[in-house]
Amino acid sequence: MFEKLEKRLILKGTIETVTPLHIGSGKSELDIEEADMPVIKDDQDKPYIPGSSLKGKARFEAERILRKEGYSVCNPPDVKSMCGSLVSDPSKFCLACRIFGTAGRVSVASKVKFRDAYPVGKVEQLIQRSGIAIDRQTGAVSSRALYSVEAVPAGVAFSFEVVAENLTDDELRILCAALRSVEHSAIGGASSRGFGKVKINIDTAVERSAKYYLGKENEKVYSGEDLKKWFAEKGCV
Ligand SMILES: [Zn+2]
């Protein structure tokens, strides 16, 4: 499928930990089999938030909002139950697939890309929280009872950047709502213990068209009051 670059929107800001944040290497919930749970780190040993974690969570929240609003939404992550497998006409894909992409017989790339989020400053120290593992089946304290969870403390800011291409206003509105909902939910593991609450601050929006890349048009940059007004016009809260 050929695709035109109509417009590219870049939302930039920070994502700040309000409570400790634990993003492990792939597991989203506490796994009682694992005694020690480090946070994911880059090759310089700095903790970061993978873009894929942010995107996955944003998609999950978008799907919940869409369902509540009466839209029909397919059921990822099983490819067989996604629009790419179930719907032959891409124009009839559910809004979640149109924004975040789909897989199956037809695979369509996501219109939104979440960059990996790196700490803005220095992270002084990671924290360790210990807990007692309970066997979910029996409710008994497991034999490997004590475990420790590593986490980024509250108050750490990470860079935040989402790049969205050719979003309709409707799709942008859902993306904004999903980001708000991520804030009021949680990211990463141990959320039942209060981990993973974040604040997403978007301070700049940049709009670029194909003409911009040909040097024929300026980019549009919104920040401060302009950004608030622009968001309001788009139906973003
Ligand atoms: Zn779908």
Task: Note the pLDDT of residue 32.
Answer: 47
Phi and psi at residue 17, to the nearest 5°: -80, 125
Task: Note the pLDDT of residue 27.
Answer: 47
Distance 164 CA to ligand 1 centre (A): 18
Distance 105 CA to ligand 1 centre (A): 13
Q: Is residue 1 part of a domain?
A: no
Distance 210 CA to ligand 1 centre (A): 28
Distance 53 CA to ligand 1 centre (A): 19
Distance 84 CA to ligand 1 centre (A): 7
Distance 62 CA to ligand 1 centre (A): 11
Reply yes or no: is the peptide bond before residue 47 cis, omega within 30 of 0.
no
**Residue pLDDT tens, the chain, 237 long:** 567 888 999 999 999 999 999 998 754 445 544 447 889 999 988 999 999 999 999 999 999 999 999 999 999 889 999 999 999 888 899 999 999 999 889 889 999 999 999 999 888 899 988 877 666 667 666 555 677 889 999 999 999 999 999 999 999 999 999 999 999 999 998 888 889 999 999 999 999 999 999 999 999 999 999 999 999 999 887
CB 204, CB 226: distance < 8 Å: no
By the CB criterion, residues less than 5 angstroms from ion ligand 1 are 74, 83, 94, 97
**pTM reported for the whole predicted model:** 0.87
Task: Note the pLDDT of residue 141.
Answer: 63
Residue 198 lies in domain? 7-234
Distance 225 CA to ligand 1 centre (A): 35
Q: Is residue 117 part of a domain?
A: yes
Distance 82 CA to ligand 1 centre (A): 5
| Number of separate domains in the chain | 1
